């Protein structure tokens, strides 16, 4: 076992890339798939699954009343002022029940306590010193935004300190209602382009430069990226109260459900994976690739609709 810049290095399936010569090492957690979950803690219903995408991490399966999470077993040291960036791919499939539900959250938290809990908060509600980005596929009226979530079943928004704030809420590709048609003429079918439950392989880029947070999504069926959150001012360092965070994902289902699969995930403590031209994983030729059992990665939120 070796140490480089304080990072413990082991042989393993998870690669950590360190930019040689950098004063503060750029750490890239590189999960091109989930054939190994070394360095991750799985909670509740979360488990590996084999799909057409290969080995994925299924946060919750397509059945009622499920909750799950996976997050870094150890906290990640973020960049200056909590700088970070991440890319990941998700696919939601096999919707059922009253409507596709509920979606996922991507979370950074000071503590691992409460991760993966059941209930309307989908493992995020009540977790202090945390920031969550939700990718919501169900309209849970009664939470956030003055007791509603924007009456949207297809949105991205920001939650803080375990509260379902739904700040900066945005309907993805302008579609605020996606589900089973069931007599609602204004609703888009869940499998329409731009609806997150459509079964497509979506790509997400998240970037935070220490002051401004941005999130973009791409549905290959829509043909172009959608900027969901652009330069949203937020002091993540103050919210976390530390420059380290457990990072990961949560999801849940209630009377509606779907498979919530994370297909790949990359995380850096710089902005190199941020939305825009830099939103790509650095080429291995430019990095000193080092095998790691992982000393870094985190958690998330959402909500469940009961019958």
pLDDT band for position 283 (cuts 50, 70, 90): very low
Cβ within 8 Å of residue 80, ≥6 positions away: 24, 210
CA-nearest of 128, 91, 103, 96 to 113 is 128
More confident residue, 243 or 17: 243
Distances (CA, A) of 280 to 85, 137, 159: 10, 26, 26
Nearest Cα to 305, choosing from 152, 120, 146?
Answer: 120
Higher pLDDT residue, 300 or 248?
Answer: 248
Q: Quick one: pLDDT at residue 9?
A: 24
Q: What is the pLDDT at residue 156?
A: 95
- Following CA atoms 151, 155, 161, 163 in sequence, which dihedral angle do they give, to the nearest 10 degrees? 10
Tell me the pLDDT band of 297, cut-offs 50, 70 and 90.
Answer: very low
Q: What is the mean pLDDT of residues 84-105?
A: 95
Q: What is the pLDDT of residue 150?
A: 64
- The span from the CA of 99 to the CA of 133, in Å, is 21
Q: What is the mean pLDDT of the chain?
A: 80
Query: CA 192, 194, 197, 203: dihedral to nearest 10 degrees?
Result: 140
pLDDT in tens, 164-185: 888 999 999 999 999 998 656 6
What integer pLDDT is reported at residue 18 of this predicted model? 35
Q: Which structural domains are found in the chain, ordered by start?
A: 2-292 (2.60.120.200)
Distance CA 73, CA 81 (A): 22
């Amino acid at each position: 076992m070796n140490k480089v810049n304080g990072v413990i290095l082991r042989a393993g399936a998870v690669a950590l890339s360190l930019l040689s010569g950098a004063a503060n090492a750029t750490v890239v957690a590189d999960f091109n798939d989930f054939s190994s979950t070394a360095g991750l803690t799985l909670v509740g219903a979360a488990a590996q699954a084999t799909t057409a995408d290969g080995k994925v991490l299924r946060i919750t399966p397509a059945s009622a009343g499920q909750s799950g999470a996976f997050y870094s077993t150890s906290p990640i040291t973020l960049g200056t002022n909590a700088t970070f960036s991440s890319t990941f791919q998700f696919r939601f499939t096999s919707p059922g029940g009253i409507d596709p539900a509920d979606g996922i959250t991507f979370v950074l938290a000071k503590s691992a306590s409460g991760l993966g809990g059941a209930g309307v908060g989908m493992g995020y509600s009540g977790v202090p010193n945390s920031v969550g980005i939700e990718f919501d596929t169900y309209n849970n009226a009664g939470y956030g935004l003055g007791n509603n979530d924007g009456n949207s079943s297809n949105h991205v928004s920001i939650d803080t300190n375990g509260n379902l704030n739904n700040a900066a809420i945005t309907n993805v590709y302008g579609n605020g209602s996606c589900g089973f048609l069931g007599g609602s003429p204004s609703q888009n079918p869940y499998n329409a382009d731009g609806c997150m439950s459509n079964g497509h392989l979506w790509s997400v880029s998240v970037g935070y430069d220490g002051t401004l947070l941005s999130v973009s999504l791409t549905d290959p069926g829509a043909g172009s990226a959608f900027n969901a959150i652009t330069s949203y001012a937020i002091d993540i360092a103050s919210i976390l109260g530390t420059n380290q965070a457990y990072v990961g994902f949560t999801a849940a289902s209630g009377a509606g459900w779907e498979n919530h699969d994370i297909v790949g995930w990359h995380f850096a403590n710089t902005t190199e994976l941020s939305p825009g031209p830099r939103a790509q994983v650095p080429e291995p030729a430019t990095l000193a690739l080092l095998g790691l059992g992982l000393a870094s990665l985190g958690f998330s939120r959402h909500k469940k609709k009961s019958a």
